[in-house]
Amino acid sequence: MFKHLLASALLMLLVLGVSAQDLAVSGQVVEQATGTALPGVTVRVKETNNGTTTNPDGAFQINAKEGEVLVFSYIGYASQEVQVNGNANSLQVQLQPGNTQLSEVIVTGALGIKRPARELGTASAQLNTAELTQGKVVNPILGLASKVSGLRINMFDSKVDPDVQVNLRGIRSHTGNNAPLYVVDGVPIPDINRLNPNDIESINVLKGANAAAVYGSDGVNGVLMITTKKGRAGTQRINYSNTTTFDKISRLPEQQTEFGQGLNGVYDPLQYQSWGPRFDGEMRPVGPVLPDGTQWQLPYSANADGRKAFFNTGFTTQNDLNFSGGDENSTYYFSLQDVLTKGIIEGDKNRRSGARFNGSRSFGKLSTSYNLNYVFNKSDVTQSEPWSTVYRLPVSLPFADLKDWENTPHANPNYWFSTNQPNPYFNADNQRTVNEQQTLTGNIELNYEIAPWINAIYRLGLYSRNTDTRTTVGKFTYTTPGRTNIPGSVNDVTNNFRRINSDFILDMHKDFGKFNTRLLLGNNLRTDDSKTTNLSASALVVPGLFNQDNRLGQLGGKSGISQRRQVAVFGELTAGYNNYLFLTFTGRQEAVSVLSPDNRSYFYPGVSSSFVFSDAIDALKNNNTFSYGKVYASYNRTGNVVVEPYQLQNVYSQTDGFPYGNLPGFSLGTSDANPNLKPEFVTSLEIGTQLSFFQNRLNLEAAYVDAKTTDGTILADISAGSGFTSAWVNAFKASNKIIELNINGDVIQRGDLVWNVGANLTHIKSKVDEIYGGIDQLFHFRQNYLIVGKPYNSYLFTDYKRDPEGRVIVDPKTGNPVSGSELYYGGTGTPPYQLGLNTSLQYKGFQLGAQFDWRMGAVVYTEAAARMISDGTSPLTTQYGREPFVIPNSVIETSPGVFTPNTDVKTKGDRNYFANHYATVQSNYAVSADFFKMRELSLSYTLPAHWLDGQKLVKEATIGFVGRNLFSIWAKDNIYNDPEFVYAGGSSEGYMSWRHLPPTRTFGFNVNVAF
């Protein structure tokens, strides 16, 4: 009897034990209407932190107990709940278009650890691969433009491989980098410009230092957490896609079409400036007499669209192929990409080829993952900036006839009509820069489960970028007099950068009844090594032979080696109560090698909290109107180190001619090494809320941020009597007050038809509070200044000398403005208001998406305007018919301090006036930077699954149209260029140089096939 009872007891315990064990639940998530697999769907065990996401095939695997509920949520689709039962091996989950439940979203947080969004006490935004690649961009950064509140993306211009500037929640540093930190699969890297957007599963934007406190100074500008795609167990998939797009010039600076080449109203066939007589349509000679006795003849009339003929139709072909799969112990994802771009400038092209391998393997309690990405990028572009010549040449020139300069006599440099401005096609061919860049990134992660409540994680990451650049100028000897020979040159530059990053993390998580806790303790080690070498020759002997041995004179060259090291320990403690109240403490002790030993180590603390009140208040539960409500707050203090290695050390360098002749000598640098320099500190307070209504059909988010910068770092001018001319100092205080609003909802949700509309608004109010020494303003770059009481990134423009009423003071004899170098406050280059609009329409297999960008309140000026005015191609030079006129709102100073309105003293309105008294005054062409543009438009159709029945090769097929920047609206006074374009650096918005290319509109098609 006892044996039977014992056997029965053991059987009951076994049954109970089995019932309590986790089940391996797997399956696939598809769209209900089309059967299309949905990648990136969040799968979470309800009321726990256990979650995962679906792979590119929509497949998933998760451990759950029988009876628990799985919640499936995906942006743009209604969430679905499925209870786990004994048959958990082949779940087929179908989602309908609708809105995601905010309460169920899982995000990739700091340190690459997934966590429920509900516990975050800071603002963040997550985009999946479909949202990121809607516009089929090559650079993933551009796929984020106008889609996230607080995030602002600017492009340099329309080159084949343009630089991109990224700012998140405004500018905090006047001198240093204002870009966010990029973290790919848990490893920080310097940039993601070479990352294949189609390899990205999701990007979670952690806004500001509050959201990235554990990253210390690297996270002071926020963090972009990037998770790349991975294979999933139980499924094998091959995917191929092609996108082909075309680029056409969308808008050119306005030009005058009334007057042609010449000076002072007199036609000159050898003059490039447009100060000649009014166009009359007659045939006139252009340039010198050719060797055969003929002379180039052109109609003396405006060719209004002639400049467009200079530009080609650019195109980009992007091919992607990836393979993914796995079993219960391992997964793999392998991708190949090739992108060929031919630019709008003749001869400019760029090719990027890359491969990625992501893998994982489980060995019992040890889980491993490893990623390797290699990209080879080669660009061949002209450094001659030919566009800067085109907009200065007469409007009568037929640029299409000038391309074949080698076989067309009047286009050849020997007989080109101008000795001041060369044929832009010749310059583009003769001056080339070939850049070959190899980028290798890799990381390995080991995750060992020490106990059910503690994991040890180790990550080792490598980022290596090797760049070889060759810049050449061809030797050209003129056979005609009066022209300066081109001696030719060659310059080879090699830049090598390597970063090794190491993280060790203890992840401890334990539940105590209604309380759940998570403690992260970690250590970070990082080393950045850089090496630069260049070798040049500036006078070549044999034309076309670009070798430094083929030279006259001395060989030029130099090299530089630097290293930056960083070490830190950090911790994060999160405590939650009943899954609706959370409190998080963070801390990081960091030391950097670039500061002096007394100032290189600092502690960065932070605290945040979130409260999901819709789950805490019984009256709000299961409410058909109010679906979700959360409030949060955070406080953080983070440092920002802006100096580069050895800038705080007194270094010696060799100086030509010192001490005299060819004797070698070394002199001390001109910048004083300040051992007392400290990091800039940003103290940030953030509060916000997330609300959802009508069963998640309408979602609202709002955040307010008050960030203060102290000990702002600048390179200040100092008295030369000290032996130096500049020094790095902590010199200013500034503040940013930011409001972010987000709204999105389903306007229509009826069967297979879903129409969603969303908007995000950002308002930034920045101010410089104080500058060291009591000074009011500090020069930074071009017309960019720090000004007490004004926003960051403010501009002071040159202006006329004016009387107390703001009227222009003119010379009583000439009618020209009196000489003076007055400066006036023009505004900020950073738009205080930014609005992103998006809409999507889904019906069965059709999907339409559009993205709009609206920026307001900033100012911009371009150096090209002054050149066009001086050369007579600007329409501003014809507003008075080039006849004498009285300068509007002008006065004459009749005696000291006494001004009389000018009614009859006229300026001549000629080249002298416009070149010397108008072009030099920036207030004449500082304009509003407001714009509204369509960022992206996409239309795609996914073939119904039943169309593919009867064959086993193709699992899914999609075709589509894509467009970018199809239209844009600028402020009325902006007749120059796209105000979105920037020059360089973190605070250069509002300034465009003379070299910026005009904007383009992009359109094309794409095909995607899954096997």
Lowest mean pLDDT among 441-455, 771-785, 856-870: 771-785
CA pair distance 441, 227, nearest whole angstrom: 14
Within-domain flag for 336:
no
CA pair distance 261, 418, nearest whole angstrom: 11
* Average pLDDT for 337-358: 97
Within-domain flag for 109:
no
In the chain, the amino acid numbered 142 is L
Within-domain flag for 544:
yes
Lowest mean pLDDT among 232-236, 314-318, 468-472: 232-236
Q: Tokens for 261, please give them.
A: 């080449």
The distance in angstroms from the start CA to the end CA of the chain is: 62
User: Please, which pLDDT band fits residue 18 given cuts at 50, 70 and 90?
Assistant: very low
In the chain, the amino acid numbered 813 is K
Q: Other CB atoms closer than 10 Å to residue 554's CB: what's the count?
A: 10
Query: Domain with 41 in it: what CATH number?
Result: 2.60.40.1120
Residue with the two structure tokens 């006795």? 293
CA pair distance 584, 604, nearest whole angstrom: 14
Please name which of 397, 357, 351, 391 lies closest in space to residue 374, comparing C-alpha atoms.
Answer: 357
Tell me how far the alpha carbon of residue 512 is from its chain's centroid.
44
Tell me how far the alpha carbon of residue 638 is from its chain's centroid.
23
Report pLDDT for 986: 53
In the predicted structure, residue 821 carries a pLDDT above the cut 90: no
In the chain, the amino acid numbered 977 is N
The residues with which 737 forms a beta bridge, in sequence order, are: 706, 765
Please name which of 283, 314, 304 lies closest in space to residue 398, comparing C-alpha atoms.
Answer: 304
User: Please, which pLDDT band fits residue 152 given cuts at 50, 70 and 90?
Assistant: very high
Q: Tokens for 347, please give them.
A: 């001869």
In the predicted structure, residue 397 carries a pLDDT above the cut 80: yes
Report pLDDT for 372: 97
SS3 content of the chain, % helix, strand, coil (to 5): 10, 50, 40
* C-alpha R_g of the chain: 32
CA pair distance 969, 931, nearest whole angstrom: 5
CA pair distance 826, 798, nearest whole angstrom: 9
- Structural domain boundaries enclosing 891: 794-828+859-923
* Average pLDDT for 622-648: 90
Total residues belonging to the chain: 1011
Please write down the long-range contacts of 620-623, taking CB distance under 8 Å and 24 or more positions apart.
Answer: none
Q: Which of 528, 562, 579 is the last residue of a domain?
A: 579
Residue with the two structure tokens 């060799």? 654
User: Please, which pLDDT band fits residue 33 given cuts at 50, 70 and 90?
Assistant: low
In the predicted structure, residue 948 carries a pLDDT above the cut 80: yes
This prediction has a pTM of 0.88
Q: Left (φ > 0), alpha (ψ -120 to 50) or beta: where does 914 sit?
A: alpha
In the predicted structure, residue 1005 carries a pLDDT above the cut 90: yes
Residue with the two structure tokens 């650019």? 314
Give the dihedral sign, CA 654/658/664/667. Answer: negative
Q: Which of 78, 96, 114 is the last residue of a domain?
A: 96
In the chain, the amino acid numbered 275 is W
- Whether residue 128 contacts residue 64, with contact meaning beta carbons closer than 8 Å, is answered with no
Q: Other CB atoms closer than 10 Å to residue 997's CB: what's the count?
A: 23
CA pair distance 404, 407, nearest whole angstrom: 6
In the predicted structure, residue 21 carries a pLDDT above the cut 60: no
Within-domain flag for 807:
yes
CA pair distance 445, 455, nearest whole angstrom: 12
Please name which of 982, 1005, 978 lies closest in space to residue 992, comparing C-alpha atoms.
Answer: 982
User: Please, which pLDDT band fits residue 81 given cuts at 50, 70 and 90?
Assistant: confident
In the predicted structure, residue 101 carries a pLDDT above the cut 80: no
Tell me how far the alpha carbon of residue 954 is from its chain's centroid.
36
* Average pLDDT for 22-36: 79
Tell me how far the alpha carbon of residue 853 is from its chain's centroid.
15
Q: Left (φ > 0), alpha (ψ -120 to 50) or beta: where does 43 sit?
A: beta
Report pLDDT for 214: 83
User: Please, which pLDDT band fits residue 983 given cuts at 50, 70 and 90?
Assistant: confident
How many structural domains comprise the chain? 3
In the predicted structure, residue 11 carries a pLDDT above the cut 50: no
Q: Which of 547, 562, 579 is the last residue of a domain?
A: 579
Q: Tokens for 220, please give them.
A: 């002071």
CA pair distance 164, 308, nearest whole angstrom: 25
Report pLDDT for 76: 61
The 10s digit of each residue's pLDDT in 212-237 is 778 878 888 999 999 999 988 777 88
In the predicted structure, residue 707 carries a pLDDT above the cut 50: yes
CA pair distance 843, 841, nearest whole angstrom: 7
Report pLDDT for 109: 77
Phi then psi dihedrals of residue 722, to 5 deg = -80, -10
Within-domain flag for 652:
no
In the predicted structure, residue 4 carries a pLDDT above the cut 60: no
Within-domain flag for 890:
yes
CA–CA distances in Å: residue 553 to residues 477, 490, 540, 602: 18, 13, 9, 52
Q: Regarding predicted confidence, which is higher, 717 or 271?
A: 271
Instruction: Classify each residue of 735-760 as buried b or exposed e, where b means 16 or more C-beta atoms within 10 Å of its C-beta.
Output: bbebbbbbebbbeebeeeebbbebbb
Which spans in 161-317 are helix H? 208-211
Report pLDDT for 8: 41
Residue partners of 587: CB distance under 8 A and separation at least 6: 213, 570, 571, 572, 603, 604, 605, 606
CA pair distance 276, 293, nearest whole angstrom: 25
Report pLDDT for 6: 37
For strand 898-901 and strand 890-895, is the pairing parallel, antiparallel, or unpaired? antiparallel
CA pair distance 325, 238, nearest whole angstrom: 9
The residues with which 493 forms a beta bridge, in sequence order, are: 469, 534
In the predicted structure, residue 13 carries a pLDDT above the cut 50: no
Lowest mean pLDDT among 105-114, 833-842, 959-968: 105-114
Q: Tokens for 621, please give them.
A: 């539960």
Please give, one letter per residue, the 3-state secondary structure of 602-662.
EEEEEEEEEECHHHHCHHHCCCCCEEEEEEEEEEEEEEECCCCCCCCCCCEEECCCCCCCC
CA pair distance 294, 969, nearest whole angstrom: 47
User: Please, which pLDDT band fits residue 100 given cuts at 50, 70 and 90?
Assistant: low
Please name which of 889, 707, 895 lies closest in space to residue 809, comparing C-alpha atoms.
Answer: 889
CA pair distance 146, 746, nearest whole angstrom: 20
Within-domain flag for 337:
no
- Whether residue 439 contacts residue 372, with contact meaning beta carbons closer than 8 Å, is answered with no
Look at residue 374 and give its three-state secondary structure.
strand
Lowest mean pLDDT among 370-379, 496-505, 615-624: 615-624
- Whether residue 1008 contacts residue 957, with contact meaning beta carbons closer than 8 Å, is answered with yes
- By CB neighbour count within 10 A (0-12 exposed, 13-18 middle, 19+ buried), where does 846 fall? middle
Q: Within 13 A of 774's CA, how many CA atoms are on the CB side? A: 0
Within-domain flag for 254:
no
CA pair distance 876, 587, nearest whole angstrom: 58
- By CB neighbour count within 10 A (0-12 exposed, 13-18 middle, 19+ buried), where does 5 fall? exposed
User: Please, which pLDDT band fits residue 536 given cuts at 50, 70 and 90?
Assistant: very high
Residue with the two structure tokens 């800071």? 122
DSSP secondary structure string for all residues of 514-583: TEEEEEEEEEEEEEEEEEEEEEEESSBSSTT---TTSBSS--EEEEEEEEEEEEEEEEEEEEEETTTEEE
In the predicted structure, residue 27 carries a pLDDT above the cut 50: yes
Give the dihedral sign, CA 890/895/900/902. Answer: negative
| DSSP classification of residue 813 | T
In the predicted structure, residue 99 carries a pLDDT above the cut 60: no
In the chain, the amino acid numbered 254 is E
In the predicted structure, residue 124 carries a pLDDT above the cut 60: yes
Share the mean pLDDT of the chain.
90
| DSSP classification of residue 386 | T
CA pair distance 123, 120, nearest whole angstrom: 8
DSSP secondary structure string for all residues of 853-882: EEEES-EEEEHHHHHHHHHT-SGGGGTTTT
Beta strands in 890-930 (DSSP E): 890-895, 898-901, 927-928
User: Please, which pLDDT band fits residue 834 given cuts at 50, 70 and 90?
Assistant: very high
CA pair distance 483, 474, nearest whole angstrom: 16
Lowest mean pLDDT among 108-122, 281-295, 461-475, 544-558: 108-122
What percentage of the chain carries pLDDT values higher than 90?
Answer: 67
